[in-house]
């Protein structure tokens, strides 16, 4: 009885301390629709060669991975999405104080729902950019209130899918539990 209680306690404790990480979300075949301060006309997409025309706020990933997918119509910011779920936000020129809110909607083109959106590197700004999940296929970025440390800086974030437990922790625990149960049964 005492061995069983100790074993159960060890298994519960180890599972509770197992690290979880967000799996990067593939954006490989994604179609992205953007808004800038609530306007669809103020975002220029690569698929429209950054021309301000109807539908220019929709784009797919740059197949050459050599440039950005979106520019704001005021040319303050560029947005580069990578197939591995990374988003790089570029500052193209000095950014005056103001509201800079964007949304990016991936619609039904994602292989899984968005469950995390985290800052990887914001060292080029004073303040923290607002990164949020609107729903399972839409993210929001708020760049207002940031002080950039110079021209052409970049902020990096990662879009992720459901958290998955670190595979080694539960596997090791289960193997240990099976070994203890087997040795107890033999004695």
pLDDT, tens only, 138-153 = 999 999 989 998 778 9
Tell me, yes or no, whether 148 and 173 share the same domain: no
Which domain CATH number covers 51?
A: 2.60.220
Tell me, yes or no, whether 136 and 180 share the same domain: no
Averaged pLDDT for residues 19-46: 88
pLDDT at 72 over 70: yes
Sequence length of the chain is 187
Tell me, yes or no, whether 14 and 45 share the same domain: no
Tell me, yes or no, whether 46 and 87 share the same domain: yes
146 contacts: CB under 8 Å, gap ≥ 6: 95, 125, 126, 127, 129
Tell which phi-psi region holds residue 124, choosing left (phi > 0), alpha (psi between -120 and 50) or beta. Answer: alpha
Tell me, yes or no, whether 50 and 123 share the same domain: yes
Residue corresponding to tokens 């964007």: 102
Tell me, yes or no, whether 15 and 66 share the same domain: no
Q: How many domains does the chain have?
A: 2
Name the strand (E) or helix (H) holding 157.
Answer: strand 154-165
């Amino acid at each position: 009885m005492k061995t069983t209680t100790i074993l159960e306690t060890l298994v519960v404790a180890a599972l509770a301390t197992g690290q979880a990480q967000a799996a990067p979300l593939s954006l490989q075949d994604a179609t992205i629709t953007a808004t800038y301060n609530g306007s669809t006309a103020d975002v220029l997409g690569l698929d429209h060669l950054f021309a301000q025309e109807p539908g220019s706020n929709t784009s797919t990933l740059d197949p050459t991975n050599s440039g950005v997918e979106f520019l704001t119509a005021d040319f303050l910011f560029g947005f580069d999405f990578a197939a591995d779920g990374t988003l790089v936000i570029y500052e193209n020129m000095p950014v005056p104080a103001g509201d800079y809110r964007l949304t990016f909607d991936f619609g039904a083109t994602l292989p899984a729902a968005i469950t995390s959106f985290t800052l990887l590197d914001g060292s080029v700004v004073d303040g923290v950019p607002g990164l949020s999940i609107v729903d399972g296929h839409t993210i929001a970025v708020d760049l207002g209130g940031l002080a950039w440390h110079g021209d052409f800086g970049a902020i990096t974030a990662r879009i992720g899918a459901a958290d998955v437990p670190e595979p080694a922790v539960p596997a090791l625990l289960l193997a240990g539990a099976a070994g203890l149960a087997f040795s107890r049964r033999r004695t």
